[in-house]
Amino acid sequence: MSPTSAIETDAVKRPLLFRWRSPLPEDTLRHWAMRHGSVPPDLLRFWSSTGGGEAFETETLLSPIGEPATGDDIDGVTSSCRRAGLPPDWVVFHVGLGLSAFHPIDGRLAWFGQRTGEPTQVFDSFDGWYRGTLRPEYADRYAL
């Protein structure tokens, strides 16, 4: 994997902190994205190289082709979060300390600290999301 984002760079530096599924084929991602609106391009690139997975023991980066039985599929988690109060215009891609989702109309990414209601932070890119949410929480602890 050639790092294209801070999370991928951190995974190269500290590989034991990250457990990726496996890269996803471009055609699989394209087909999935057609059903989900404006998916951020750098999030698609991330899935293309990693497939999603686990980070820092407690953070799950969901996969477009995740397994419903293990709870790491985007569609199943998004449906569950919407039933619990997440606004219907967001698609979940991360669960852990908080909940993160992208907006299918404009591609913004958001952090929901309370997992429901309005987002507490909004980002224009996947890299900006990581640098503004998970990395500040874990960088010192894991010497990133």
Is the confidence at residue 104, as pLDDT, over 90? yes
Q: Give the list of residues 6+ apart from residue 2 with CB closer than 8 angstroms, or none.
A: 49
Residue-range domain boundaries for the chain: 6-138
Reported confidence tier of residue 2, pLDDT bands at 50, 70, 90 = low
Which of 20-34, 57-71, 93-107 comes out lowest in average pLDDT? 57-71
Torsion angle, alpha carbons of 88, 42, 64, 137, to 10 = -80
CA atoms within 13 A on the CB side of 110: 22
Backbone angles phi, psi at 13, to 5 degrees: -70, -40
Average the pLDDT over 136-140 and give the result.
Answer: 95
Reported pTM: 0.93
6-138: CATH topology is SMI1/KNR4-like (3.40.1580)
Lookup: tokens for 83: 């039933």
Read off φ and ψ for residue 111, nearest 5 degrees: -110, 130
pLDDT recorded at residue 117:
84
Tell me: the pLDDT tens digits for 24-67?
999 999 999 999 999 999 999 999 999 999 999 899 999 998 88
- In this prediction, residue 66 carries a pLDDT of 85
